[in-house]
Structure 1
Amino acid sequence: MNCQWCESDTARETSNTVYWELPDGSKVIEIQNTPSVHCLECGMNYQRDETVKEIEDQLFLIDTSKLEKSMTYETLMAASRLLKRNYFDFSK
């Protein structure tokens, strides 16, 4: 796997704790065990674009007022949705 930052082939799949601001800006939540990439060359830890989109879409589609301050990625993604998909995403 190549690093998106330094293009080294030493990047590896991992999981990390990340902090995400809710779409309405009301608070930040901690998301544990988030799929991530770690580069052994440059030391960068990051989430793939697909993972970022999944998290952002999920936060638009659920009732964020019911979220705890800290949760796992799996718990976030399993939260019941109010809408079936993000109708404000015009990138498709």
Structure 2
Amino acid sequence: MTVQCAWCEEEKAVETTNTAYWELPDGTRSIEITHMPCISCSGCGMSYQEEEIIEEVETQLLLVDTKKLDESIRYDELLKVPRLLKRNYFKF
């Protein structure tokens, strides 16, 4: 299924997965997140995560003990890491 690319606005983008590199909230290091949902456009060559995926990853990284994370983790495994808090109480 093709979708409209957020960058070039052509209907040449598809939902797929890629590898992303994310800085941890405390700024101490970054991690590799594999098999991450993304949109990839054959028209302009961009691959990007949609806003809801970005927010999901950032919230999860804020709520887990990042010291226990390996240098590389699958997206689905990251979302399964037990949280220290139930939710982000700082987001209004």
Task: Please report the TM-score for the alignment, with normalisation by the length of structure 2.
Answer: 0.96
Identity of aligned residues (%): 53
Unaligned runs of at least 5 residues, structure 1: none
Equivalent position of 2:66 in the other structure: 64
**RMSD of aligned Cα (Å):** 0.5
Shift of 1:36: 0.4
Secondary structure at the aligned position of 1:36 is classed as strand
| Structure 1 ranges of 4+ moved more than 4 A | none
Shift of 1:87: 1.0
Secondary structure at the aligned position of 2:35 is classed as strand
Structure 2 distance, partners of 1:69, 1:41, is 32
| Alignment match of 1:39 (pick from 17, 38, 41) | 41
Task: Please report the TM-score for the alignment, with normalisation by the length of structure 1.
Answer: 0.96
Shift of 1:12: 0.2
Shift of 1:5: 0.4
Equivalent position of 2:28 in the other structure: 26
Which residue identity is paired with 1:31? I
Structure 1 distance, partners of 2:24, 2:47, is 21
C-alpha distance after superposition, 1:13-36 (max 9, x if no partner): 010010000000000000000000
Structure 1 distance, partners of 2:11, 2:87, is 35
Unaligned runs of at least 5 residues, structure 2: none
